[in-house]
Structure formats: C-alpha cells, structure tokens
Amino acid sequence: MLEGKFDQASLLKKIIDSIRDSVKLCNFNCSQNDGITVQAIDDSRVLLIALKMDPGCFQEFRCDRDMVLGLDLESLGKILKQGNNEDYLTLIAEDNPDSLLIVFEDKKKDRISEFSLKLMDIDSDVLTIDDMDNDCSITMPSADFSKIARDFKTMSESLQIIVTKESVKFKAEGQIGSGSVIFKPHTDLDNPDESIKIDMNQPVNLTFGAKYLNDIVKASTLSSTITIKLTDKAPALFEFKLPSGYLRYYLAPKFED
C-alpha cells in the first residue's frame, strides 16, 4: 500500500503544472526509500523529465511494496484543481491498484474531498542517464532565467547560451533583429538565492529550442534558483530543487546543419 501525504497540495500542483505540457502520460514509480520518481520523455524526444520526490517531500510517507502508477497528467491536473493550495493532499493506492485515491483535507474546516483517478498501463522507454562531467555549471535566480526564456521566445526560435569564466551570455537572433543578456558572477550575502554562480572547466556555446526552454521555466514556481549544467555537444541539464529531491529537465541541443 502507498500512502503519501503532502503538507500543502500546492507542491504537487506546481510539479504537475511544470511537466504536463511536455508529457501527457507517465509512470510514477513508488518505493519506500526513494519516494516517488518519474522519468518521462516528450513525444519529439528532445526533452526528458526526471522527477524525484523523496520521502522528505511528504509529511507522511509509506510504501510497503514497490509500485508503478500509470497516470494521465491532464486528468490528474483536473483533479488537483479541485483542492485548495493550503490543503493537505494524500495519495493512496492499494497493492496492484487500478485507481489512485486523492484526498484533500482543509486544515481549518472539517472538509474532506476524495477523488479516484483511473490508472493506465503505460509502456514508455526508460533511458539510462549517467552522471555526466559537465563543462559548466550555472546557478542563478529562476525568475531571471524564466524572464529571458519567455522574452527571447518572442524574438527567436532558438536561444544561445555562451559561458566563459567571467560571464554567462544568453543570445537570440530573429527576423526583427538580435538581443543578448549578460550575467556576471555575483554573491548576494543578504539574499543568497539572488546570487549568480558560474563554475567553468571549459567555455561552452550551445543553442536550444526556445519552445522547450519555455516549458522548462514553468518549474520556476518550485524553486527560487535554477542550476544549469552544460557540456559541449551534449544535452543540458536544468535543475530545480524540491524541498527534498529535484525536478530535472534534460534538453537536447540544436546543431549547425
């Protein structure tokens, strides 16, 4: 049996809102030690989502036996809308379940809402992702990166990320012209999350699809910082930390034809 209780329904709502435009169907893998993990690839095979909700994400978590819950995220999203952000949210599944029970509890009133979501058999490719040695790692405020991804998408289909020891530069070239934003490393002692950290072994210059970056920055609601790991001629890793665990996106780059 699985029973996972979130202190705030908003955490799961934000997570599902961050991934459901990229993947529609995915398997939630549940286990006592790892909590709930998800790996899902978008239909175009350009973006991979790796989610890890450790047991620490939950106020209470038990999973007696490993289980896989096949979920339609659009349907799950419909149910999650029914609860309030501050509610307790509990996911309950029996062993070998054909449905997932979702319970919202209001913290002040004696109101309990219960929903049952039908589960699906989802056959999806699982990819092996080894820990990569990265050429660069950038940690910056997620709101800043989100603004760049959203603004530059109006100018160009691609966003170039150029990292040197001194700076990270985001650059877009479109029909109407071009633009760039440069950030230099900076430590904000009063607000550490406002700091910009650049670790560089080798400079990189990579280009990514603006459409995918716009999907990725939907997760900015989950964390005030984002870590971007870049390696020449390899997929980039965009990571948002959860209270315990992470939401990672791996994005394949664009290359000169």
Partner 1 sequence: ARKQSNLMSFFKKK
Binding site for partner 1 (CB under 8 A): 41, 44-48, 125-129, 158, 207, 209, 234-235, 250, 252-257
Kindly tell me which of 14 and 248 has the beta carbon lying closer to partner 1. 248
Task: Find the shortest distance in angstroms from Cβ 129 to partner 1.
Answer: 6
Kindly tell me which of 13 and 229 has the beta carbon lying closer to partner 1. 229
Kindly tell me which of 48 and 80 has the beta carbon lying closer to partner 1. 48
Task: Find the shortest distance in angstroms from Cβ 177 to partner 1.
Answer: 18
- Beta carbons of 69 and 27 less than 8 angstroms apart: yes
Distance CA 29, CA 228 (A): 25
Kindly tell me which of 25 and 92 has the beta carbon lying closer to partner 1. 25
Kindly tell me which of 10 and 207 has the beta carbon lying closer to partner 1. 207
Distance CA 168, CA 128 (A): 29
Task: Find the shortest distance in angstroms from Cβ 133 to partner 1.
Answer: 14
Distances (CA, A) of 29 to 100, 129, 134, 160, 168: 13, 17, 28, 35, 36
DSSP string, 85-114: TTSEEEEEE-SS-SEEEEEEE-SSSS-EEE
244: tokens are 């315990």
**Burial (Cβ within 10 Å: 0-12, 13-18, ≥19) of residue 247:** buried
Kindly tell me which of 146 and 207 has the beta carbon lying closer to partner 1. 207
3-state secondary structure of 10: helix
Q: Report which secondary-structure segment, H or E, holds 3.
A: strand 2-6
Task: Find the shortest distance in angstroms from Cβ 228 to partner 1.
Answer: 17
219: tokens are 């997760």
- Beta carbons of 152 and 210 less than 8 angstroms apart: yes
Task: Find the shortest distance in angstroms from Cβ 89 to partner 1.
Answer: 31
Task: Find the shortest distance in angstroms from Cβ 20 to partner 1.
Answer: 19
